[in-house]
Chain A
């Protein structure tokens, strides 16, 4: 988005003017021609941004004290100050009760929220890697050898080529073999002296510590004990029931998940101050509440306001914000055939727009636990 555009949006009175009509050269006879309306591409306009709002009032005027005759006086709360943005071209505007310290949508363009194979979109200015969801910040340095478990770059590229694409190699893949493997920098025939595909595949199978789960990245392996009920048997109390130890639970600290997420470049799109969204199609209409995201829902607003009312930490004047965690846990089959499956627990942040969360290339999910699968074999008594 251009800076000028942004300034325009700030200065424009509400609501923003419609896009200029497309001008078509007139015919030879001089008749004016119009571009057919149904060919007019409608693109959602830029949202109105926060900076045009009045600056926050530091000392709100105290409300007039009304003597309350009722025996149960309600605690007097000052009338909340409302900071509202100007409506955008849809007539939507935001209304904050806390002055936002950042406007995550100010820098956002249409390209940031759409994702489809056929769309020509600008790559995002910040791009996460697939491993970021596992807390891996230093993926390349986690093991001594970058190409682990392969010996060297040539073998790695060869195996990567073999596993990439389809099982039946095509002409395009042959091209890839030549350009990405044989002609790539660092290709060395010496690397392939003792090459054996079977052995390399075994290397893959024998990878001991999957890089995602190393202690250096905050992952811990724990075990828990579960009391087992035995059918048709009574125990004096739950403490007398046999215990079963479930080991191999990989997990990492939720606080670390929050910390990584808020420090990542993608956090610039996080809404830290919730707001109410209203729709006012024309200046005379009654504003109508619109709920589209977690950060404009009542639940978030209530929790945010509760936090602001809560006593401050001694000596701390920092802004208090909610990290809105949304948790998922479901077991996932990894193969169409066979029983390979994972039972991950992962979190998304409700501070982020659903349009961004839903974009697979954003890697917005944060994995924090893997539950070992327990089945009949584990819990069956002998």
Chain B
């Protein structure tokens, strides 16, 4: 039996979510909070903190990204992305497919 479109969308969304779990591993989350020291191209050591500002994705994956469970990222999603960079949070509202 072939899966319906809605089910496939669900699966793709789940897949996307799992891949983000792979990417936002423990090491990354540590760097998110404490930064990583990088010797920049001008020779100065700096503590660099990764932050996400925009996320542009195909339609089916969008919702997946509001499901992050980790605390700092979840905060960022709800606070930081709204209202100007409201891309992950409330993706359905701004969607203009």
| Residues of A that sit less than 8 Å from B by CB | 101-102, 222, 224-229, 231, 244, 246, 249, 251, 253-255, 258-259, 262-265, 267-268, 272, 294, 297-300, 302-303, 307, 313, 316, 318-331, 345, 350, 368-369, 371, 374-376, 379-381
In the complex, the answer to whether A326 meets B54 with C-beta atoms within 8 Å is yes
- Is the Cβ of A224 less than 8 Å from the Cβ of B15? yes
Contact partner of B28 (CB less than 8 A), chosen from A255, A331, A376, is A255
A267 touches B11 (CB 8 A): no
Q: Are B51 and A268 in contact (CB under 8 A)?
A: no
Cα of A318 to Cα of B37 in the assembled complex, Å: 8
Contact B58 A318 (CB under 8 A): no
Contacts of B47 in A (CB 8 A): 313, 316, 318-321
Given A222-B22, A328-B57, A376-B2, A255 contacting B50 (CB threshold 8 A): yes
B80 adjacent to chain A (CB < 8 Å): yes
Instruction: List residues of chain B with CB under 8 Å of any chain A CB.
Output: 1-4, 7-8, 10-12, 14-16, 18-19, 21-25, 27-28, 31, 34-42, 44-58, 61, 80, 84-85
Closest to B38 in A: A262
Question: Are A303 and B57 closer than 8 Å at their CB atoms?
Answer: no
Contact of A272 among B39, B45, B46 (CB under 8 A): B46
Asked whether, in the complex, the Cβ of A318 is within 8 Å of the Cβ of B28, the reply is: no
Contact among B23, B41, B80 for A299, CB-based, below 8 A: B80
Query: Which A residues lie within 8 Å of B28 (CB)?
Result: 253-255
Number of interchain pairs (Cβ within 8 Å)? 159
* Shortest beta-carbon distance from A39 to chain B in Å: 41
When the two chains form their complex, are residues A371 and B50 in contact, meaning their CB atoms are under 8 A apart?
no
- Give the contacting residue for A268; candidates B21, B35, B41, B56; CB below 8 A: B41
Q: A231-B4, A328-B57 are in contact. List 17 more A-B contacts (CB 8 A).
A: A101-B44, A224-B21, A231-B1, A231-B3, A249-B19, A263-B41, A302-B80, A321-B48, A325-B51, A326-B54, A327-B55, A327-B57, A329-B58, A350-B53, A369-B23, A374-B11, A379-B11
By a CB distance below 8 angstroms, the chain B residues around A265 are: 41
Contact A102 B42 (CB under 8 A): yes
| CB-based contact A251/B11 at 8 Å | no
In the complex, are the beta carbons of A225 and B52 less than 8 A apart? no
Task: Determine whether the beta carbon of A330 is less than 8 Å from that of B80.
Answer: no
Find the A residue at minimum CB distance from B14.
A226
